[in-house]
Amino acid sequence: MTDPLYPSKPRPGDLVAVLSPSSGLPGALPLPYELGLSRLQDDFRLKPVEYPTTRKMGSTPEERAADIHAAFADPDIKAVIASIGGDDQMAVLPHLDRTLLRTNPKPFFGYSDNTNLLLFLRNLGIVGYHGGTVMVEFGRPGAMHPMTADSLRAALFTSGEYELTAASTYGDVGRPWQDPRTFESEPEMEPAGGWSWHNGDRVVEGISWGGNLEIISWLLMADRAVLPVGAYAGNVLFLETSEEMPRAEEVYRILRNMGERGLLQQFPALLMGRARSWSFENQLGPQEKAHFRRQQKEAVLRAFQQYAPDAMVVFDVDLGHTDPQLVIPVGGRIRVDGPARRITVTY
């Protein structure tokens, strides 16, 4: 994949589709969703268009695929944005019309379970955008994070290079979306500590591949939306973990299995997202959070030392389920400059 296709970008005033290719949570939790829609309209000056399953809980894979087709085929729709993630988008992929999507490329924004559609589009040669769901990033309580908003604005409206920067503070502790008081103030943040570099003695530039680690493990099990390993030679890998907080041993095992498949060895560089270390089901304290993140890092290094010891690894990049979030092009160009400690993506 040498010449990625960057779809044309929307302009202020354009229509954008808001879809739920995974879960119809906007119907169950309207507060962050309505806030996200209002920011799309008021702050980004885009006109969101909903589809039949956008707010529908329990929609079928066929119904969600039909919404994807309708959004991509409509010439008036200039971008497609996911409402949120979920856990069964893989079941949508067999119902997608490759020819329709390939001939009507649009910028697609989403992450987590939307890794499925992003990698599906990548296989069609279409660059997608890992990040920016309506309910989470656009619907952030209090205000959008400035770093998230700047990255999203650049990815949505501009083309060209964008330099990522390390956050000085971050957050991953949530508050209930059912409670209106949640949206009266911004989330609490804590010191971020910057990026951490391993083998950062060279410059790597290549096409990106990756997304949520748990979803990628499922795609590998189903042998879906994953090309033969040689297709990724020289690419830049990026990975992140979700609020389900997989144990360090599970992270290692997934990466080990990728190594056994010959996959890890294809990537001269990895951007590893800051590990989510709190959830409503697993409410860790400060010391426990630090220990969890340290174990996650050790698991990644253990796998790479076994299978790709020369790869450059950058830890704690803000590209996943933590706040702020920086958008990563999927199938787009990334330059990782170890000596200069700089990461540049092409939107």
Whether pTM > 0.95 for this model: the answer is yes
Q: How far apart are CA 187 and CA 168, in angstroms?
A: 15
Q: What is the mean pLDDT of the chain?
A: 98
Q: How far apart are CA 96 and CA 83, in angstroms?
A: 19
Q: Which residues have CB under 8 Å from 319's CB, separation 6+? A: 130, 131, 238, 240, 271, 273, 274, 325, 326, 327, 328
Q: Binning pLDDT at 50, 70 and 90, where does residue 148 land?
A: very high
Which residues partner with 163 through β-bridges? 344
Q: Does the pLDDT of residue 254 top 70, yes or no?
A: yes
**Which pLDDT tens digit goes with each residue over 3-43?**
889 999 999 999 999 999 999 999 999 999 999 999 999 99
- Stretch 267-295: mean pLDDT: 98
Q: Does the pLDDT of residue 306 top 60, yes or no?
A: yes
Q: Does the pLDDT of residue 170 top 60, yes or no?
A: yes
Helix (H, G, I), strand (E, B) or coil at 224: coil
The proportion of the chain whose per-residue pLDDT surpasses 70, expressed as a percent, equals 99
Residue 3: what pLDDT? 81
Q: How far apart are CA 216 and CA 222, in angstroms?
A: 10
**Which pLDDT tens digit goes with each residue over 73-131?**
999 999 999 999 999 999 999 999 999 999 999 999 999 999 999 999 999 999 999 99
Q: Does the pLDDT of residue 2 top 70, yes or no?
A: no
Q: Does the pLDDT of residue 235 top 90, yes or no?
A: yes
